[in-house]
Amino acid sequence: MTTKPLERPITDTNVDVDVPWQVVVWNDPVNLMDYVVWVLRRLFGHSVEEATRLMLAVHNEGKATVAQGPREQAEMDAFRLHQHGLWATIEK
């Protein structure tokens, strides 16, 4: 009886564990600027200045990264933003 050498399956094991996920808020025609600042302060604890800077980036550039971290946290943050009526996605 002959045995064949063990063949290893070909898989893609390149996983960027250390790369944080970004939570991106997108511009929309519905929410007022003051409301966006309030949400960013309430959900992420940003200062008034930082929340205002991020809101202006969303307004002027169309989007802004408001938080980053592990995927599970980014998904939760995006969900919480959705609950407050903001359009948010996550990106690597």
The domain ranges of the chain are 21-91
pLDDT of amino acid 35: 98
- Strands of the sheet with 63-69, listed across from one edge: 63-69, 21-26, 88-91
Fold of 21-91: Ribosomal Protein L30; Chain: A, (3.30.1390)
Q: Could you report the per-residue pLDDT of 44-85, keeping only the tens digit for each?
A: 999 999 999 999 999 999 999 999 999 999 999 999 999 999
Q: Evaluate if pTM is beyond 0.85.
A: no
Q: Which of 7-11, 30-34, 38-42, 68-72 has the lowest mean pLDDT?
A: 7-11
